[in-house]
Amino acid sequence: MSTVLRREQLRSVGFGALGLLGVVAVWELLVLTLLADARIPSPAGVVGAAADRGWGFYATHFGMTLQEAAVGFGYGTVAAVALAALTLLVPALEPLVMQIAVLTYCVPLVAIAPVLFIVIGNPDEGQRAGTATALAALSVFFTTVVGTVLGLRSADPASLEVVRVFGGGPVRQLTKVRLVAALPSVLAALRVAAPLAFLGAILGEYVGGVQRGVAITLKIAQQNVDVEGAWAIGLGCALVAGAFYGAFALLGRVVTPWSRGAA
């Protein structure tokens, strides 16, 4: 069975690599033909622009944004899981929690970002980082709340009954049964939420006017009409978001192997 799964994984990676090569080939072909007069750089130009900046450039600016995204991701995840668990212990709070989650999802981040920046305080480096962190936390809240609530409610009724028979109440059922049952759903939600946290941090940097971070590099590239540089940074963001998604997908395979078998 493991050999079959390994072959399927290798086949999936192979198809993914072929698909990526196909996208690059089509991109190069369009730049040379239909889009020759457009401001779209070639793949080689984008790679060259990325190489010219060097590792230190990306480590400095992407590192700052990743730090903000990670802190916001942590805050948002802890708050979402805690509130989702609270809805199981106090069902009357579920409508309020879900309304808050939907509100964070429906309000555009670009609209709430300036409000957060004004509320947070003075425009110093620490406060600007706080704006990016807050937006990162808001970005992950809805997805994680919904995924956690669905996961907690997917617990096996028979297992819950066993805990109840041995004198366990809602808290014991939550810690012994529901949280374990919810792990696949929670990790699936985090797989989507992690890239969103990175996007939220970038939007927060745009509003805050930071001196370091992905947003400032994009602003400079825009002001200098550095098309190849902007594309290089944008593709770097895509790679980071994809790495987050893949990391949580791998974590889900390792931590919850039973869910893979069920799928």
Which pLDDT value is given to residue 252? 87
41-262 sits in which CATH class? mainly alpha
Which pLDDT value is given to residue 131? 84
Structure tokens belonging to residue 152: 């907690």
Which pLDDT value is given to residue 260? 62
Residues of the chain with pLDDT under 70: 1-6, 8-9, 12-13, 121-129, 208-210, 259-263
**Is 49 in contact with 229 (CB distance < 8 Å)?**
yes
pTM of the predicted structure, to 2 decimals: 0.85
Give the residue among 177, 218, 175, 213 at the shortest CA–CA distance from 63. Answer: 213
Report the first-to-last Cα separation within the chain, whole angstroms: 15
Estimate to the nearest angstrom the gap between the alpha carbon of 252 and the chain centroid: 15
Which pLDDT value is given to residue 156? 87
Which pLDDT value is given to residue 35? 74
Which pLDDT value is given to residue 209? 61
Which pLDDT value is given to residue 83? 94
Structure tokens belonging to residue 61: 């600016």
Print the SS3 string covering 25-89: HHHHHHHHCCCCCCCCCCHHHHHHHHHHHHHHHHHHHHHHHHHHHHHHHHHHHHHHHHHHHHHHH
Domain boundaries, the chain: 1-39, 41-262
Structure tokens belonging to residue 243: 């790495």
- List all residues 6 or more positions away from 135 whose beta carbon is below 8 Å from its beta carbon: 72, 109, 112, 113, 116, 200, 201, 203, 204
Structure tokens belonging to residue 40: 């779209």
